[in-house]
Chain A
Amino acid sequence: MASIDTAAGESGHKKGPGVKKAKKLSTRVDMTPMVDLGFLLITFFIFTTTMSTPSTMDLFMPKDTKKEEELNKAKESGALTIMMGNENHLYYYEGKLAPDAANFTPSNFKEIRDVIIKKKKSTPPEDLVIVLKPNEQATYKNTVDMLDEMTINEIKRFALVDISEVENGLVHATEGTPMPPATAQPVQPAPTQ
């Protein structure tokens, strides 16, 4: 049964003339084309694959309200206002902006964390509120980075607010960039259709 091969081998000589011995074929297969194809597919999948699944960051915006009593009040002592300007420049002041802008301090993304940590340490947690004011030259990345900084330092209360004319003027004066033309944007009610 399983000895057909050996039997054939043993009796090889005993066969008469004219009986040819079966030629032994190699069982080796040339694998080169298969490997070629394999690597072609690997390269294809490497290039098409998207490895990192994107994450999402929750953002809650407050409702626009004109009513005074609905607005959140911030204690002056607990407020830290951070402004974002051109080319990743940051500016901040604590409390209220002084009339002579003495507490208006330039900063950058490296230093701002220490500023936030320092403020957080020196302020009772229930008073602490950080106000983020990107100007029209700030990028989306700056905004997200600052929102991220709130998560990193576990700031519970922060707000994303439009920059005021005075503050933006200071930012532009520091950067030496021209002020944008004042665009009065009257808040229009949503058009009904």
Chain B
Amino acid sequence: MPSVKIARKSTDTDMTPFVDVAFLILAFFMLATKFKPPDPVEITTPNSVSSDQLEQKDGILVQLDKDGRVFFAMQAEANKEAKKAVIQNLNTTRNLGLTAAEMKSFEKAYAIGVPFNQLKQFLSLDEEGQKKVKQPGIPVKDSATNELYYWVRDAVTAFAGSKISYLVKGDNAAKYPDFKRVLEAFKRNDIYKFQLVTSPESAPPGTELYRTRQGGPKPAAN
């Protein structure tokens, strides 16, 4: 009986193209990645049709989480002295009694969400400890104890002369009164122009904005 000999094929496959693709993707993600600063809270921003990109410039970022806690952060890349000036000024005006090390800790910390009377204790923690502790938020409840006002005031003074942005980043589920109080803290500092951080969304089809963006003829005004 003639036997048919089946040729033994190697089970090795050439992985080179596979590796090529894998490293291409790797290179893409490495370049596209921008590490976000550690947020003290998870904030899901609402969507908006606004097409303005978030600018990377110095400014004040007030975050509002779903429980109405308020966090204050300063982006001071260009003006490194600003954060130092703010904490030194607050230390004197509010009698916080901070040590030099604690002030240094403030410069490193990203967002602050504690009332003034707990600030010393918070800043005395090391970086890991600050991350773990649940911050109660800056009090904004009524105008007499609105501490955000002082933060904003000192930050504006520290940034004096440079053009800065005032960012408000709120969570979807945050209640309107908390947002209003944040705005009030700004308004009392004579700041009336804000930028709300949102997630981009395209204009719904059929609306006027959609038509404008498409560059099409506008319907006759009547």
- Using a CB–CB cutoff of 8 Å, the interface residues on chain A facing chain B are 31-32, 34-35, 38-39, 41-42, 45-46, 48-64, 84, 113, 117, 121, 125, 134-145, 147-148, 151-154, 162, 185, 187-188, 190-191, 193
Contact = CB atoms under 8 A, between A and B. Distances in A.
B170 interface: yes
Dominant secondary structure of chain A at its interface with chain B? mixed
Interface of B: 15-16, 18-19, 22-23, 25-26, 29-30, 32-36, 45-55, 64, 93, 142-144, 149-150, 167-168, 170-180, 183, 186-188, 190, 192-200, 203-204, 207-210, 212, 221-222
Contacts of B173: 139-141
Nearest to B18: A35
A56 B167 CA distance: 8
A38 B19 contact: yes
Q: Which of B16, B173, B207 has the largest count of A CB atoms less than 10 A from its CB? A: B207
A56 B209 contact: no
B29 A55 contact: no
Contact of B29 (A45, A134, A154, A190): A45
Contact of B176 (A41, A63, A121, A134): A134
B203 A152 contact: yes
B51 A188 contact: no
A136 B176 contact: yes
A75 to B, nearest CB: 18
A55 B22 contact: no
Contacts of B33: 45, 48-50
